[in-house]
Structure 1
Amino acid sequence: MKLFVLGATGGCGKELVKQALEAGHQVTAVVRNPDKVKMRDDNLTIIKGDVSSEASLADGMKDQDAVISCLGAMPTEDTKAKFTFFSDSIRVIVGAMRAAGVDRLVCITAWCTVRVPEAPERIKSFWYPSYVGVVTEDQGRMEKYLAEEAKDIRYTCVRPPELNEEPLSGKPIIAKEAYCIDLNEGLIGIPRANVACFMLSMLTTTVWDWKGVAIALQK
């Protein structure tokens, strides 16, 4: 498949690009600074783009089979009160997809983009009061936009728990249409490699189209 990958220089993005190339996909990696991408492959095209500019994305999206967003961002002390990176950038991404005629989107968000009562205590006590809570709140606005204003886009929002740098785990993945996974069933941490692998698996199924899916490694 031809994949247009956003956030290709981040932790999940680099892992996803690597796995996609190993699987034989053709990857167009979109980055603000192409010099930051050290990986080279005959099936890898690197282009400069900015998620604040629809025009910088639309041309590269033409003839792609899917868009995968591994974008990540954290607020600063100055921006945390009005942090809208995800809810702003998704509008640009969807606009570019419509212009390019691409309708499949897989993106990463996180557990508890809505503050549900069943959230683990660690999420309530650590994520919510911190900058992480600011991020997940805006990711929730992004998910709401996709659900309400982008019904023409076959989106899947992959919601992992805490990301880590451990190697790919062979443990089974629990996946549910939910905002989190019960910690009696799943682990609070997951390798970025497993998240990337799960995101790529969404390209060969329609089960999670137009849905948000919480994932975790099985205990």
Structure 2
Amino acid sequence: MKVAVLGATGPSGQCVVKEALKRGHEVTAIVRNPDGITDKHENLKVVKANIFDAETLSEHFEGQDAVLSCLGCGPSWFSLWTITFYTDSAKPIISAMRKQGLRRLIFMASWYTKYDANDPFIINWVLKPMFLGQSLKNMGEMEDYLEIECPDIEFTSVRPPQLVNTETTGNPVLFHEGQSIPREAGRKIVCSRQDVARFMLDAAESGDYKRKCIAIGSG
């Protein structure tokens, strides 16, 4: 496969690039600063582009089979600042994909992007109001945008919990269509970035989970 990776210089994006190369795919890493990637590989192409500019993105999407995005921004402390990063970046990405007739998009979001009164107290009354509320809200708005306004895009929202840099155990990645992994499934509240990469590449290769929001966790 030929895959374009957005957010390739971030810790999760680096894992996606390495996993894709390990599987023999051709990777175009689309980054703001090409100096952020020092690895060399015959199947790796590093290009510079503005993620908010559909025209510059479009040329790098030509001939790709899928776009894998690990784009993200930091939390909004105490929800003082409205975050629009996810919707602001999704719209030019979709525009650029449409220019190239590219339909498959797999992107990283998070557990608990939508409000549910049954979610844990610490999520609804501590983490969201004080730290993650605006980020999660805008991720949810991005998912809604794709669901409602992009019927032509075969998206998969990959929702991990807290990300850690530990090695993968190699066990199957837990997954569940919904806000989180159910407790009875033996969920953990952290997920290895390598497992996120494994699941995103599995989804790209299999074509599964199209137009789905899938919570994942390390097995």
Shorter-chain TM-score bucket reads over 0.9
Q: Deviations over 1:46-86 (max 9, x none)?
A: 00011111111000100000000010112566x95321000
Q: Distance in 1 between matches of 2:75 and 2:126?
A: 16
Counterparts of 1:160-175 in structure 2, within 5 Å, are: 160-175=160-175
Q: Distance in 1 between matches of 2:112 and 2:10?
A: 21
Q: Which amino acid aligns with 1:63?
A: G
Counterpart of 1:216 in structure 2 is 217
In the superposition, the TM-score normalised over structure 1's length comes to 0.93
Q: Does 2:100 match 1:93? A: no
Q: Contact conserved, 1:5 with 1:67, CA < 8 A, in 2?
A: yes
- Residue 170 of structure 1 and its aligned partner are, at CA, apart by 2.6
* Count of matched residue pairs: 218
Q: Distance in 2 between matches of 1:108 and 1:53?
A: 20
Q: Distance in 2 between matches of 1:208 and 1:177?
A: 9
Q: Contact conserved, 1:27 with 1:45, CA < 8 A, in 2?
A: yes
Q: Distance in 2 between matches of 1:122 and 1:94?
A: 34
In the superposition, the TM-score normalised over structure 2's length comes to 0.93
Q: Distance in 2 between matches of 1:152 and 1:90?
A: 14
Q: Does 2:24 match 1:24? A: yes
Q: Distance in 2 between matches of 1:131 and 1:56?
A: 33
Q: Does 2:135 match 1:150? A: no
Output the aligned Cα RMSD: 1.8
Q: Distance in 1 between matches of 2:198 and 2:120?
A: 25
Q: Deviations over 1:178-201 (max 9, x none)?
A: 011223430000110001110100
Q: Contact conserved, 1:112 with 1:179, CA < 8 A, in 2?
A: yes
Counterpart of 2:204 in structure 1 is 203
Higher mean displacement: 125-134 or 53-62: 125-134
Q: Contact conserved, 2:113 with 2:179, CA < 8 A, in 1?
A: yes
Structure 1 pair 201–62 and aligned structure 2 pair: CA distance change class (3 A)? same
- Residue 174 of structure 1 and its aligned partner are, at CA, apart by 2.1
In structure 2, list runs of 5 or more residues that go unmatched. Answer: none
Counterpart of 2:195 in structure 1 is 194
- Residue 119 of structure 1 and its aligned partner are, at CA, apart by 2.3
Q: Deviations over 1:11-68 (max 9, x none)?
A: 1100010010011000000000111111111100000011111111000100000000
Q: Contact conserved, 1:155 with 1:209, CA < 8 A, in 2?
A: yes
Q: Contact conserved, 2:76 with 2:135, CA < 8 A, in 1?
A: no
Q: Which amino acid aligns with 1:152?
A: D
Counterpart of 2:104 in structure 1 is 104
Percentage of pairs with the same residue: 37
Q: Contact conserved, 1:110 with 1:158, CA < 8 A, in 2?
A: yes
Structure 1 pair 2–80 and aligned structure 2 pair: CA distance change class (3 A)? farther
Counterparts of 1:168-183 in structure 2, within 5 Å, are: 168-183=168-183
- Residue 126 of structure 1 and its aligned partner are, at CA, apart by 4.0
Structure 1 pair 99–141 and aligned structure 2 pair: CA distance change class (3 A)? same
Structure 1 pair 22–83 and aligned structure 2 pair: CA distance change class (3 A)? same
Q: Does 2:141 match 1:141? A: yes
